[in-house]
Amino acid sequence: MTPQPGTAAYQFAGKTILITGGAGDIGRAVAHRFASNGAGIILWDLNETKQSLVAAGLSDYKVPIASMPCDVTNLEAVQKAFDEAVSRSGRIDYVFNNAGYQGAFATTENYPEDDFRKVIEINVIGVFNVLKVAANYLKQQGDGAIVNTASYAGVVGPANMLAYGASKFAVIGMTQTAAKDLAPHKIRVNALSPALIGPGYMWTRQTELQAAVGSQYFDSDPKVVEQQMIQSVPMRRLGTLEEVANGVAFLMSEEASYITGFNLEITGGQ
Ligand SMILES: NC(=O)c1ccc[n+]([C@@H]2O[C@H](COP(=O)([O-])OP(=O)(O)OC[C@H]3O[C@@H](n4cnc5c(N)ncnc54)[C@H](O)[C@@H]3O)[C@@H](O)[C@H]2O)c1
């Protein structure tokens, strides 16, 4: 995956990016984008097998690559993995705080409590853990940039996704506060809010599960749901994984040196 024609080739040579959710679609696309611009890559995910395949796919870029298991919901594990990552790479310049889970699709009165807790655990506590550990490290280092993956679901609450919407509103809130707290230490913190991105795991999962809810908003056929969703986008298409990676590259780069506490919406005009 090389940068798309017309995309800026930011100079990340000699820099290192830590990517959580490194086995997932967006984590993989961001890893390719940064590796192609010269950055070393550290991947963290629960899914070690899938993540190893992502790491293997980066070998042509001839940059340092590390694939590490890490459960972001465990603060102790995050601290340990961060220390190990620093000892392997020498320094970490960018943290892409991206691991996430979509949760169940159900109307509010039916939303399962255990799943609500799970979504909050991964998307809120997990983001908090990585933010806290990264902030301590980057503060000592004296500079750095963090991008937290929120979602357009954190801007406008989506139907049938009570926990996911709540968790992503929280990510945008944490981003704004952390940006203020860390600005004096030359650390920028921004959020990224993709809307309908695909093809990919989350796109397929959401069209299937929205169809199964039986709500007034979506048809019961996932293929029809796909069209209903695409019709809600002014640009009438899905965003690509590479377009999401472009946003991360911009926010981490020096081109965004005076931008912090911002939520970059990647929505095709929604
Ligand atoms: N794909 C989209 O359409 C879309 C849109 C908006 C926001 N997002 C957000 O982007 C991020 C990445 O999504 P994606 O599309 O790549 O999804 P994905 O499911 O392909 O990747 C998510 C990754 O997070 C990992 N993960 C889950 N829990 C974890 C934990 N406790 N510790 C470590 N890793 C864990 C999973 O194993 C998975 O590899 C998520 O935060 C998601 O909410 C995605």
Give the full edge-to-edge strand order of the sheet including 187-194: 65-69, 40-45, 16-20, 94-97, 144-149, 187-194, 263-266
Query: Average pLDDT of the chain?
Result: 96
Structure tokens at 188: 């920028």
Ligand 1 midpoint to CA 163 (Å) = 15
Contact 249, 11 (CB under 8 A): no
Tell me the CATH number of domain 16-197+239-266, given options 3.30.70.20, 3.40.640.10, 3.40.50.720, 3.90.1150.10: 3.40.50.720
Decide if 217 is catalytic: no
Rounded average pLDDT over 160-169? 98
pTM: 0.97
* pLDDT on residue 11: 82
Measured CA to CA, the distance from residue 100 to residue 139 in angstroms comes to 25
25 lines ligand 1 (CB under 6 A): yes
| Whole-number pLDDT of residue 4 | 56
Supply the residue whose CA is at minimum distance from atom 36 of ligand 1.
Answer: 21
Q: What is the pLDDT of residues 29-41, one digit of tens each?
A: 999 999 999 999 9
The CB of 202 under 6 Å from ligand 1? The reply is yes
Residue pLDDT, tens place only, 123-161: 999 999 999 999 999 999 999 999 999 999 999 999 999
What pLDDT is attached to residue 140?
Answer: 97
Taking the C-alpha atoms of residue 248 and residue 94, their distance in angstroms, rounded to an integer, is 10
Q: Domain locations in the chain?
A: 16-197+239-266
Q: What confidence category does residue 59 fall into, taking pLDDT thresholds of 50, 70 and 90?
A: very high
Mean pLDDT of 107-133: 99
Q: Is the CB of 151 under 6 A from ligand 1?
A: yes
Selected catalytic residue, list 111, 164, 201, 258: 164
Cβ contact 245:29 at 8 Å: yes
Ligand 1 contact via 165 beta carbon (within 6 Å):
no
For the CA of 99, the closest atom of ligand 1 is 24
Does the beta carbon of 126 sit less than 6 angstroms from any atom of ligand 1?
yes
